[in-house]
Amino acid sequence: MTMATVDNQHSLSGEKNRKATKSLPEAARWISVAGRMAIPLMMLVLLITAWSLYVWAFDVPHYILPSPMRVAVALYTDWPILAPALLVTLKITFTALTIALVGGVALAVLMAQSRIAERALYPYAVILQVTPIVAIAPLILIYAPSTQAALLICAWIVAFFPILSNTVQGLKSTDHNLLNLFELYGASRWQTLVYLKMPNALPYFLAGLKIAGGLALIAAVVAEFAAGSAGAGSGLAFRLLESQFRLNIPRLFAALFLLSLTGVAIFLTTNTISYLLLRKWHESALKREN
Amino acid sequence: MTMATVDNQHSLSGEKNRKATKSLPEAARWISVAGRMAIPLMMLVLLITAWSLYVWAFDVPHYILPSPMRVAVALYTDWPILAPALLVTLKITFTALTIALVGGVALAVLMAQSRIAERALYPYAVILQVTPIVAIAPLILIYAPSTQAALLICAWIVAFFPILSNTVQGLKSTDHNLLNLFELYGASRWQTLVYLKMPNALPYFLAGLKIAGGLALIAAVVAEFAAGSAGAGSGLAFRLLESQFRLNIPRLFAALFLLSLTGVAIFLTTNTISYLLLRKWHESALKREN
Amino acid sequence: LDEVKFGTNWLAQAEHGGFYQAVVDGTYEKYGLKVEIVQGGPQAANRALLMADKIDFYMNGNLLGSFSAVEQGIPLIEVAAIFQKDPQVLIAHPDQGLETFEDLAKLPTIFMGKDGYSSYFQWMKKAFEGFSDAQYKPYTFNPAPFIADEQSAQQGYVTSEPYAIETEGGFKPKLFLLADAGFETYSTTIEAKVGFVEDNKDLVQRFVDASIIGWYNYLYGDNEAANAAIKKDNPEMTDGQIAFSIKTMKEFGLVESGEALESGIGCMKAARVTAFYDQMVDAGVVKADLDVSKIYTTDFVCKGVGMDLKK
Amino acid sequence: MKTSPTDRNDALGQATGTVAKAPALVSLKNVSKTFANGTVALRDMSLDISRGDFVSLLGPSGCGKSTALRIIAGLGDASSGSLAWPVRSPVDDKSGTGGPNQDISFVFQEPTLMPWASVFSNVYLPLRLKGLSRTAAREDVMDALQMVGLESSAGSYPRELSGGMKMRVSIARALVTKPKLLLMDEPFAALDEITRFKLNNDLLHLWEKFGWTVIFVTHSVFESVYLSNRIIVMAARPGRVVQDIAVDAPYPREEEFRTSDTYNDYCRQASQALHSAMEVSEPA
Amino acid sequence: MKTSPTDRNDALGQATGTVAKAPALVSLKNVSKTFANGTVALRDMSLDISRGDFVSLLGPSGCGKSTALRIIAGLGDASSGSLAWPVRSPVDDKSGTGGPNQDISFVFQEPTLMPWASVFSNVYLPLRLKGLSRTAAREDVMDALQMVGLESSAGSYPRELSGGMKMRVSIARALVTKPKLLLMDEPFAALDEITRFKLNNDLLHLWEKFGWTVIFVTHSVFESVYLSNRIIVMAARPGRVVQDIAVDAPYPREEEFRTSDTYNDYCRQASQALHSAMEVSEPA
Ligand SMILES: Nc1ncnc2c1ncn2[C@@H]1O[C@H](COP(=O)(O)OP(=O)(O)OP(=O)(O)O)[C@@H](O)[C@H]1O
Ligand SMILES: Nc1ncnc2c1ncn2[C@@H]1O[C@H](COP(=O)(O)OP(=O)(O)OP(=O)(O)O)[C@@H](O)[C@H]1O
Ligand SMILES: [Mg+2]
Ligand SMILES: [Mg+2]
């Protein structure tokens, strides 16, 4: 029996994928990445086939459910219309996400630092979360300095809560022994926050971020419905409504497709960020080695 | 120095509220509960006063921002209209929340159990999350057996994602040592899930629940906008819309107030559930004792 | 009785009065129909339900929707036009020196719905000097932002918003009816699927006739029961609003003007449809070279049905 | 000098590489373990353990004792080399995997308790996983808790226990299944000497009574001599076996054994072995 | 027999209740601790510790040693009784709270490392909290790591360390601030004897050199005798002091001390004290 052979004469119960790709050469790593992509892609092909078949078999009229082919054509021909709209929506989305991040984390920190702040503010955060944008959009339109500002306020209201709620939970989940340690070394509140509570809240925060990423996109669309501009400078929401109004259902689906794609891209990004930040130390991202 | 006196000659740094109410008699406990309520209530009084003052000082017309008094009157006089609408909305909310819970957790379990399922399904969960309800409501209305069903589908789409995402993160955050232990004792996948991963995911799940609770309420309103049944059996969404259209802004605010109240009540409930489930063992709910 | 579902494009209001009238006073029943009215709303999908054969008739706002349908190859057809004039109106503050429709171009802000923006506003930009995209702000079906800003106008139904603004806002706004400015579409048309109409000519005729009779009765007869039905479907509706709507409908000749005066409510004429189409093509709102003859049929209207009920 | 019914001593080789005469219960051959970060925790470790052995692993901190134990338990694969269970009869092997799952227990170096479960539920866990109901398991669980002196804490939660108490819960959880093979990673390190001695004796009695096989990691030379019939001394960086000491003292061993000359000799021998292991270890 | 510059021995009373002659550095008076679940961890515990003392706490598992240490450190209040720092001068007391925060270190019973931080960052923590930059702290941190033999693991994460290595990181973190008062809760329990002996000696040297005060929880009677000038033996349920043994052997103590008769005598005395403590303890 040579030293280099892995020859486990008993097979282990439990997951086999722990026997991972760590020491494989570059080529093999690419194969494994491809394998990871294969499943979602297969799923996609399956879905599109099923959709096509359904449309074809039941002869579904294109104004109810267009075939994937028609949507693809619309996507191609309407690209000059859809692309700028997508850009506008993306801009709102990322601005909204940024302020939701900043606002959500700032509020969470405030609440985790002071019980009084928590009790005084949390109810109002909840109220903001449950207020339908459409109902207060007029007020916002009246008081916001510009349509753009109104839009961002609307989007922020939708997206900030998951970050706030998760971050608060994370900040509160700090190990008591470590808290004791910090207290012992006379750490200031600020130091305890930055060096202990925040890293500890990271997994929770990141789970919140994953939710908020998609929500910011939805928020951008909803805000545009409620307070946004129309015409040349408008985003996907306007295009969606217009397509609906004009009965241009293939274009509607093309716009939806772009939204979905954006959503998935945002999710993959947040997922990757999460992995990169946690892979060194957190169970959720670690490979089981021992 | 008698044994019973607490006489700490040095004051400790850090939070003082650890010196808690544990051994106080019943009366004192009530005082402490009252104290806990005092801050939000004070905040409320403050807010209402500021609002009244603003309306009064700037002579804001009631159709832009009604005074709290007017809203209260509207709440009282329109109660016979608002109450049944609230009931309808509540019904949708709780049904939606229930199926979001079941669906979200079931999906999360599936994804945490199988990498393939995760890769195949997660993108579509994201797509569902980012699809604007307004845009696909017609499709749902066409394919759903009834308006009621369409409504629930819409609400579910909005509310399930936070639960899914947080639960997945929680299920994955299981301590590797405990996983090893379960593997060693030959636990089946199912046992590992039920006895280990699920309790471990609880704090994450509960954070997700807090988000989903409010979101289900919003979802019920949005769904009603998008797919709603109008008329006598309609919920708060229609009241909101028509009140706006008719410039009956005090009633609009009364309806908003009911929504907010419901939101806060749901939040307090989920918060209490969370506390009850975690208080025995999880840092976030434990009092620091050592 | 044939069961028929009719979808409206908004919450129950006096503008739907004739249909409710025909339901409650038994006219539909007399014509062998059992009609269920499905209310619309700002985001309701009644038109999609029509296309999916979930309802049989739909109340279409104006002909632009029909142009879109033919452009997209969707087999929809208008069988009657209850409103001769589009009630769509632009509302402005008084004392702002606005006299003619063109004067609206001077305002920095016009609150409009997205559909308004993409239909008549495109026409306005073409037909008049000075309108521009910069004026557009979204209308959220709440007139408060308009009332708060004197230098603005907003869209509305001549029968609805002006009432709310008058009673709640406390001033009598200036109204500019689009129809009077040359936006000559029919409105509140009855729309159905082409195949359905071909297969059920008799049923369609009965529905159109009964609806027209309902409208005469609503406008000239005892409409109390119909109003009660409207208020039941839409509890926010007030008697004052209903009275205002009926008054306005009569005052502006929304239902009865032009061809309707000679050939009865619901009458449509090919020439007017074509003229409106050309106007819209000219404004760049719709594509040229559509076969608009497909979008309507005059087979069921202009027969003087129910004119005897007019007092 | 065989005192137990099983052939405990016939598998003792002299040092690495020597083949045992009877088939070993578990046999590591040239096992190496390299972690993802490049740390070589074990290199070419070979070790045969016979059924009924009480083997102690002794070695400097970080030399790979825990890693070796985990590999034996089937938790975490070796990077190279082989792990075999030669004498395992098909009858024992209910799971059909050839693995040790059915009658192995492990006391991890850290208590590894479920924070949401009471002490009772934590100890009940292995039986629950075997399908036993709470009532059916009650007696066994309470017996195990009594052995570690925690029967009065059955309803407490882990966070309410002291460090040593947590470790004792973990020990009770390992003993409750009456495992054939018991892997223990410094189980008694957090206990006071009196409790420790008591548990030493208890463990020895159980081992003799049931004919268990025990692999025992300890830092106490005394403990290793007192308990085991074989001491494996490891060196660090990379972890490997450097000495294999057979402790030829008769069982049952009682407290008097602690003061005997044999005991002292073996202690000195093990201590020296440890010293030389430290010397051949590269600095951590 | 005073060997250190500080008045190490003059505070030794005979047993509970005896008042020390010189003002104590820290003084517990009738301290009781009842946890929320009703467990009485300490009852009427009185203890004066003089500046420069090396005090060991010895007692059965769960008797309240860790709890007492935490109360002294100001973590978790006593339920009744008082904690005082009589001789603390205003100059020492930068925080103005009268508390011990500024020059105290604690080695918890569990490693208590931040999982997201490298070994270096974990040890750097107390200095970072004092405002030192990474570069300024570098040397001190590496010195502390070297003392525990982990300078080569500075870049590792806690999860990549063995149990003993984690504990050593925790020790390095406590030593890096050169604290005036050092509280250690079974710091060496997870270490092999050789490392343990080495760290024992290192600790003693530091203590003598800097005139620290050390309160040291251990389960090893040998260790307590070797290190301390005073051994407090506690009994359990409720936790209290039952014996206060002065170890009158001269410092510096070297390895030869371990074989001396004095040493053996004290060991026997401490062992007996522990035994009687076990007897008066109610069963856990
Ligand atoms: N997950 C891991 N990733 C990388 N290195 C690891 C990991 N786990 C352990 N190691 C390294 O492997 C070596 C052996 O670790 P192991 O835990 O087996 O030591 P040990 O002999 O049990 O030590 P101790 O007596 O301190 O518990 C150590 O050098 C450690 O740093
Ligand atoms: N948070 C808590 N809630 C309730 N009881 C507790 C808590 N912490 C400790 N105890 C109890 O207090 C007693 C003393 O605990 P402590 O940790 O001080 O013991 P110890 O002397 O350090 O024991 P060991 O040597 O095992 O570490 C124990 O009986 C324990 O069960
Ligand atoms: Mg180990
Ligand atoms: Mg302890």
Reported confidence tier of residue D250, pLDDT bands at 50, 70, 90: confident
Q: D57, D68 in Cβ contact below 8 A?
A: yes
Taking 60 as the threshold, does the pLDDT of residue D284 lie above it? no
Percent over 90 (pLDDT), chain A: 23
Could you tell me the distance, in angstroms and rounded to a whole number, from the CA of residue C45 to the centre of ligand 2?
66
Interchain CB contacts (distance < 8 Å): A and E? 57
Residue C100 has pLDDT above 70, yes or no: yes
The strand pairing partners of D40, in sequence order, are D34
Domain residue ranges in chain E: 1-10+21-100+180-191+205-284, 113-179
The predicted model gives B183-187 an average pLDDT of: 88
Residue B209 one-letter amino acid: L
Q: What strands lie across the sheet with E213-217, from one edge to the other?
A: E104-107, E181-185, E213-217, E54-58, E230-235, E240-246
B279 touches chain E (CB under 8 A): no
Q: What is the mean predicted confidence (pLDDT) over D46-66?
A: 90
What residues contact residue C4 under an 8 Å CB cut-off, 6+ apart?
Answer: C28, C33, C34, C35, C36, C56, C57, C203, C207
Q: What is the per-residue pLDDT for A15?
A: 34
Helix (H, G, I), strand (E, B) or coil at C91: strand
Q: Choosing among A274, A281, A287, which should be mutated to test the E contact, i.e. which has the most E CBs within 10 A?
A: A281
Task: Classify E81 in phi/psi space as left (phi over 0), alpha (psi -120 to 50) or beta.
Answer: left
- Region C230-252 average pLDDT: 88
Is the bond leading into C162 cis (omega within 30 degrees of zero)? no
Taking CB atoms and an 8 Å cutoff, what residues of chain D touch B196?
Answer: 114
Mean pLDDT by 10 residues, chain E (284 residues): 36 38 77 88 89 90 90 86 70 44 82 93 93 92 92 91 92 91 91 88 90 91 90 88 88 82 89 85 57
Dig out the tokens for C126 from the structure. Answer: 């073409």
Mean of pLDDT over chain A: 81
Contact D70, D217 (CB under 8 A): no
Mean pLDDT confidence for A162-175: 89
Return the residue of D nearest to E233 by Cα. D192
Which CA distances in Å does C179 have to A263, C124, C172? 43, 12, 20
Q: What is the 3-state secondary structure (H, E, C) of D74-135?
A: CCCCCCEEEEECCCCCCCCCCCCCCCCHHHEEEECCCCCCCCCCCHHHHHHHHHHHCCCCHH
Is the pLDDT at B20 greater than 70? The verdict is no
From residue B236, give the alpha-carbon distance in Å to each of B219, B230, B244, C180: 12, 10, 12, 37
Q: Does B1 touch chain E (CB under 8 A)?
A: yes
What counts of helices (H) and strands (E) characterise chain D?
A: 7, 9
Tokens at residue B16, please? 């003082």
* Closest to C11 measured CA to CA, from B153, B244, B256, B151: B244
Say which residues have a Cβ less than 8 Å from residue A190's Cβ, sequence separation at least 6: none
Contact assignment for D106 to B177 by CB distance below 8 Å: no
Q: What is the pLDDT of residue A60?
A: 85
Going from the Cα of B129 to the center of ligand 4, the distance in angstroms, rounded, reads: 49
Conformational region of residue E189, where left means phi above 0, alpha means psi within -120 to 50, and beta covers everything else? alpha
- A289 Cα to the center of ligand 3, angstroms: 14
**ipTM topping 0.90:** no
Which ligand lies nearest to the CA atom of residue D167 in the structure?
A: 2
Is residue D72 scored above 70 in pLDDT?
A: yes
Contact residues for C112 (Cβ-Cβ < 8 A; gap 6+):
A230, C121, C136, C137, C138, C139, C154, C155
Task: Report CB contact under 8 Å: A175, E117.
Answer: no
CA dihedral (C72, C73, C76, C77) positive or negative: positive
Lowest mean pLDDT among A136-150, B176-190, B260-274: A136-150
Residue among D194, D96, D215 at smallest CA distance from D149 = D194
Q: Is the dihedral of CA B230, B232, B235, B236 positive or negative?
A: positive
Question: Which of C59-68, C215-224, E9-18 is predicted with the least confidence, judged by mean pLDDT?
Answer: E9-18
Residue with more model confidence, C204 or C68: C204
Q: Which CATH class is domain D1-10+21-100+180-191+205-284?
A: alpha beta
pLDDT at A11: 35
Q: Which residue has the tokens 């009532």?
A: D135
pLDDT at B23: 44
Q: Mutation test of ligand 2: which of E61, E63, E69 has the most ligand atoms closer than 8 Å to its C-beta?
A: E63
C-beta D52 within 6 A of ligand 1: no
Q: Which amino acid is at D3?
A: T
Query: Is there a contact between C8 and C182 (Cβ–Cβ < 8 Å)?
Result: no
Determine the 3-state secondary structure of A42 from DSSP. helix
- Helices within chain B (DSSP H only): 26-57, 68-77, 79-113, 115-130, 133-143, 147-172, 176-184, 189-191, 198-227, 236-245, 249-278
Instruction: Tell me the C-alpha distance between C247 and B139, whole Å.
Output: 39
pLDDT at C12: 86
Q: State the best of A7, A11, A16, A176 to mutate against chain D, taking most chain D CBs within 10 Å.
A: A7
Q: Say how many residues make up chain B.
A: 290
- What single letter denotes the amino acid at residue D235? A
* Confidence band of B14 (pLDDT split at 50, 70, 90): very low
d(CA D96, CA D90): 8
Residues with CB in 5 Å of ion ligand 3: D 66, 109; E 162-163
| A1/D30 Cβ within 8 A | yes
Position E281 scores a pLDDT of 66
- Closest by Cα among B176, A15, D216, D42 to E158: B176
Taking every pair of Cα atoms in chain B, the longest distance, rounded to a whole number of angstroms, is: 80
Nearest Cα residue to A154 out of A199, A210, A218: A218
Answer whether C138's CB lies under 8 Å from C294's CB: no
Task: Identify the weakest region by mean pLDDT among C163-172, D43-52, E96-105, E225-234.
Answer: E96-105
Nearest CA in chain D to A5: D80
Looking at every residue in chain D, the average pLDDT score rounds to 82
Closest to D188 (Cα-Cα) out of D229, D215, D223, D234: D223
The answer to whether residue C96 scores a pLDDT higher than 50 is: yes
CA D199 – CA A134 distance, rounded (Å): 70
Q: What is the pLDDT of residues A211-266, one digit of tens each?
A: 889 888 988 888 887 776 666 667 888 888 888 878 888 998 999 999 999 998 99
Contact (CB, 8 A) for C121 and C78: no
pLDDT of D243 above 60: yes
Looking at residue D1, what is its pLDDT?
Answer: 36
Nearest chain B CA: its distance from A183 CA (Å) = 6
Assess contact for A195 and E125: CB atoms under 8 A. Answer: yes
Backbone angles phi, psi at A200, to 5 degrees: -65, -35
Please check whether residue C210 is in contact with residue C1, taking contact to mean a CB–CB distance below 8 angstroms.
Answer: no
User: Residue D281: what pLDDT?
Assistant: 66
Confidence of residue D6 (pLDDT cuts 50, 70, 90): very low
Residue nearest to atom 22 of ligand 1 (CA): D66
Residue of A175, A183, A280 with shortest CB distance to E157: A280
Mean pLDDT on A38-46: 84
Residue nearest to atom 6 of ligand 1 (CA): E160
Q: Which of A217-231, C11-25, D128-142 has the lowest mean pLDDT?
A: A217-231
CA–CA distances in Å: residue E223 to residues B11, D276, E210: 34, 23, 21
pLDDT at residue number E92: 47
* D110, D156, D161, D193, best to mutate for ligand 2 pocket (most atoms within 8 Å of CB): D161
CB neighbours of E262 closer than 8 A, spacing ≥ 6?
E249
Return the minimum-mean-pLDDT range out of C23-27, C135-139, C226-230. Answer: C135-139
Is there a contact between D103 and D180 (Cβ–Cβ < 8 Å)?
A: yes
What pTM was estimated for this model as a whole? Answer: 0.86
The predicted pLDDT at position E278 comes to 81
Radius of gyration of chain E from Cα atoms? 18
pLDDT at A19 over 70: no
Q: What tens digit of pLDDT does each residue of A178-192 get?
A: 999 998 888 888 899
- DSSP per position, B144-168: SSSHHHHHHHHHHHHHHHHHHHHHH
Q: Which amino acid, E41? A: A
D34, D42, D80, D89: which to substitute to probe chain A, counting the most A Cβ within 10 Å? D80
* Closest-approach residue (CA) in chain A for C69: A247
